[in-house]
Every structure is written in structure tokens, then in C-alpha cells.
């Protein structure tokens, strides 16, 4: 069996203006949602002595961050720690736990953020993001799904505790120093 733990919200605000409510919403969805899914799926996997869990994190938090993303970055970085802790705890029982770290993908969350930042021309922020990616585009949801399928398959049977970055090259040191991010 495979469990895909994919939960996420991102509400941007300057840190000094971020309310307890916004922080707690991020914790409840981004951390607790994934935690609860992992906990619910571990039990049947233990009974069958096999399974794969794929946790959807982000490059934000562990690798990069932008202003206004404190709550999002904090919660997505926490998922990397959860991935590693669960991988160590369950490896000897044939349960693998890995983490995808996504850059930008053409998802409803990204489209909503683009609409909020430029209501009259929401394509402009998406084009700006794509221009900053070395591959000059956002990830397709299908590409992310294919990574999840691979991480849940027997073809990745020796991977556990891994962080797989899927960002079109955005976090490569060369692109960071050239100011493309």
C-alpha cells in the first residue's frame, strides 16, 4: 500500500502581522493533517509488514523561503523532520517514508495566490514565476503524481528518509547566486 500525505495551505503575511489564527491554520492543515494521515496508515501497514508513505513538503522552509511565508515555511520544514523520524522508526518493518519537496506547480493553490496578487491579470505572476525557473515553466501536477507513484512503487524499494526535490532546478546553487530566484 501507498499513502500520499498531501495537505497544504499558504497564507502570506508579514511576520509581525501574522495572527495566531493564521499560524494555527498552517499547523492544523500542513502538519496535523499529514501527521493524522501517517498515523492512520501506519497501523495497517504494520499489520501487513509493508508500505510506503510519501509526504508532500516544499522547497520552502527547508531549502528556501520568501518574506511573508513564515508559517508556511515553518510547517513545511517540519514535514522533512517527520519524514526522517518515521523513516528511521519503521525501516526495519519494511515501511518506507519519503518526502517530495515541490517548487511551483500549476495547482489551485498557486493559481489562487496569483489571483490574489494580481486580480486583473493572474497569468502575470505565474509567468513571472516560470521565468525565474531554470526550466522556464511550473511543474505539471501529473509530473508530481508520477514522482509519488515511483516513491510508492517497488522500483524505489531501497529509498527511505529521502528528500526528493522537484522544482525545475530553482534551488540549484548556481541559479540562486545568479538571482533567478
pLDDT in tens, 33-48: 999 999 999 999 999 9
Report yes or no: 30 and 8 within 8 Å, Cβ to Cβ.
yes
Residue 104 contacts residue 129 (beta carbons within 8 Å): yes
The sign one gets for the Cα dihedral 22, 11, 148, 79 is: negative
Better-predicted residue by pLDDT, 115 or 75: 75
For the entire predicted model, the pTM comes to 0.89
Task: For strands 163-166 and 2-5, give the pairing.
Answer: unpaired
- Is 158 catalytic? The answer is no
Give the pLDDT score at 179.
55
For residue 103, name the pLDDT band (cuts at 50, 70, 90).
Answer: very high
How far out from the chain centre does Cα 14 lie?
Answer: 21
Is 70 exceeded by the pLDDT of residue 177? no
Three-class secondary structure of residue 56 per DSSP: strand
Give Cβ neighbours of residue 146 (< 8 Å, ≥ 6 apart): none
Q: What pLDDT is recorded for position 173?
A: 78
Which residues lie closer than 8 Å to 14 by C-beta, 6 or more apart? Answer: 67, 68
What would the mean pLDDT of 106-114 be, rounded to a whole number? 88
Mean pLDDT of the region 100-106: 94
Most distant pair of Cα atoms in the chain: their distance: 54
pLDDT, residue 108, reads 87
Record the cell numbers describing residue 89, joined without a space: 522508526
Candidate list 72, 90, 104, 158, residue with the active-site label: 72
**Average pLDDT for the chain:** 94
Q: What is the topology classification, in CATH, of domain 2-177?
A: Rossmann fold (3.40.50)
Amino acid at each position: 500500500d501507498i499513502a500520499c500525505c498531501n495537505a497544504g495551505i499558504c497564507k502570506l503575511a508579514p511576520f509581525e502581522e501574522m495572527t495566531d489564527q493564521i499560524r494555527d491554520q498552517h499547523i492544523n492543515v500542513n502538519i496535523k493533517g499529514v501527521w493524522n494521515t501517517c498515523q492512520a496508515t501506519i497501523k495497517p501497514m504494520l499489520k501487513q509488514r509493508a508500505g510506503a508513505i510519501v509526504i508532500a513538503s516544499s522547497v520552502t522552509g527547508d531549502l528556501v523561503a520568501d518574506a511573508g511565508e513564515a508559517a508556511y515555511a515553518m510547517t513545511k520544514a517540519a514535514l522533512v523532520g517527520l519524514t526522517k523520524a518515521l523513516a528511521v522508526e519503521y525501516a526495519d518493518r519494511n515501511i518506507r517514508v519519503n518526502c517530495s519537496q515541490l517548487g511551483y506547480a500549476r495547482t489551485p493553490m498557486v493559481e489562487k495566490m496569483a489571483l490574489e496578487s494580481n486580480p486583473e491579470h493572474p497569468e502575470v505572476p505565474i509567468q513571472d514565476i516560470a521565468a525565474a525557473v531554470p526550466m522556464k515553466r511550473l511543474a505539471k501536477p501529473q509530473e508530481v503524481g508520477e514522482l509519488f507513484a515511483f516513491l510508492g512503487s517497488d522500483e524505489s524499494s531501497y529509498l527511505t528518509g529521502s528528500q526528493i526535490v522537484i522544482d525545475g532546478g530553482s534551488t540549484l546553487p548556481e541559479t540562486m547566486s545568479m538571482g533567478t530566484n
